[in-house]
Each structure stands twice: as C-alpha cells, then as structure tokens.
Amino acid sequence: MKLEQVIEIVNAKVICGSVKANNIERGFCSDLMSDVLTIDTDKLLIITGLANVQAIRTAEMADVNCILLVRNKKATADMIKVAEENNMIIMETSFSMFHVAGKLYEAGLKPVY
Amino acid sequence: MIKLNYTIEGGDFSRAGYASSQVKKNLKQLGVDQKIIKNIVVALYEAEVNIVAHAQKGNIEVLISPTGVKMIVSDQGPGIVDVGQAMQVGFSTASEKVRQMGFGAGMGLPNIKRNVDRLDIETKVGKGTTLTMIKDF
C-alpha cells in the first residue's frame, strides 16, 4: 500500500519525512515497544499512541521507517529530530488505534501475524 | 578490532537508545549484514533501556572483530534477585514511569536472549548487573 493511501484513509498529517514512493505491506499496532522489537518484517507501519522519543528509537532499531501516531498524540521536538536523522516518516491522526487499524485492514494492509 | 564505549545515566529516558544508535551506524559502515545488525542493536537497546530504567548509572562496551560482536553492559543498580524469574516473559519490576515510556512489560531479557548467540548474566543484589552478549557474524 502506498503511504499516500494511508494518509488519505486515516486523514493523517505528515510531520516529517518524504512520503513519495514509500510503500508499506504490513501494519502493527502497539504502545509496547518491546513487542515492536520482536518483529522481523520489512515494509512495516507502526501504529502507536506512544508519543515519546523511545517510539522513534524503537523504530530505528527495528529498521522501521514509518510511524503513525494515533489518538491525536503529537510528535515532540525530540522525536522529530531523531526521525529526521534517520530519514523516518512521522504521521499523526486524530482517530483511535482501533479505527485506524480497521480502516487500513479493510483497505488491504496486512497484519504481521 | 574496534572498541566503542558509552556511559549511560540512569533515569535519563531522553538519551536512552543513543548508544545503540551509534553502534548501529558503526556496524552499517562496516558493511555488516542488515539482519545481524538488527539482532545486535535490538539486544543492545533493550539492555540500554534496562540501565536507564533500573540503575543509577552504567556502561556499554562494544568490541567489534571480523568474526562478531561482544557487548558488555554493566550497571550500578539494584541487581536481579532471581535471574530465572527475570528471564520469564511477563515478569517485571519496572516502575510506572518506565511503563509510560513503552517498556517494563517483562520482555527485555527474553528479547535480548533471542537476538544473541550467547548471553551471560552476572548480578549482585544491591551492587549491580553485568550482561555479556556475543553475536557472531
């Protein structure tokens, strides 16, 4: 799925990073970063309500470059700095995690398991 | 042999992950396989977060040789009362603050073990803990 599609479906705002030509295949919802660190999947979108720098560090270690913040959580300056250093994309949406997961699943985004 | 050394401050979550990030950049530059880099930095990051979450301070030493990586992560902290229990998924002594940072669900040590070829834990209650992790290339 193209990231542009994700943005349209969940009415997301891009905070940093270049969305163009970025594709994702699977999505994973978690506020627990240790769970994210157990995943070994490429082209992954992390959907989280955890708006602190550890969400970005976790994505960095897990080789994930797209993060969608849900529940109207806002990316902090720290998060944006680390994300920009690592060419990552941060997006924000006001929808709940359940809403976002449902809509993206319906549109064809696959789960990790 | 390349040697990297980092001092980690306990409680400073804004910096947690900085050392692991630096190690990742070094391994990338050396052309190490991406999957192996991920194993190494996930284990190291969990260990780094453990220092920040539980200890007053700690140290990370990473030795990179042509055949693999040895990581020695030591802290001045509370130590682990029961290592067997700490290795079980779901067992945690983390504070509410740590949980708010997205950790503290009792997955750190099991995650570390899964990602390295060898993990040794030396710990003394009231003194601190040293993890020695080895990952072959």
pLDDT tens across A27-55, in order?
A: 999 999 999 999 999 999 999 999 999 99
- Distance of residue A68 Cα from the nearest chain B Cα, in angstroms: 15
Note the pLDDT of residue A81: 97
Confidence of residue A9 (pLDDT cuts 50, 70, 90): very high
H/E stretch holding B75: strand B68-76
pLDDT tens-digit readout, A45-100: 999 999 999 999 999 999 999 999 999 999 999 999 999 999 999 999 999 999 99
Q: What CATH number does the domain containing B50 carry?
A: 3.30.565.10
Across the interface, whether the CB atoms of A57 and B16 are under 8 A apart is answered yes
| Residues A5-10, mean pLDDT to the nearest whole number | 97
Residues 67-106 of B with CB under 8 A from A: 100-103, 105
What is the span of the domain harbouring residue B62? 2-136
Instruction: Report the distance separating Cα B115 and Cα B30, nearest Å.
Output: 20
Note the pLDDT of residue A56: 97
**What is the pLDDT of chain B when averaged over all its residues?**
96
Note the pLDDT of residue A4: 96
Instruction: Report the distance separating Cα A10 and Cα A25, nearest Å.
Output: 16
Q: What CATH number does the domain containing A55 carry?
A: 3.40.1390.20
Note the pLDDT of residue A21: 81
What is the span of the domain harbouring residue A74? 3-111
Look at chain B and report how many structural domains it folds into. Answer: 1
- Distance of residue A82 Cα from the nearest chain B Cα, in angstroms: 10
Instruction: Report the distance separating Cα B112 and Cα B130, nearest Å.
Output: 13
H/E stretch holding A102: helix A97-106
Look at chain A and report how many structural domains it folds into. Answer: 1
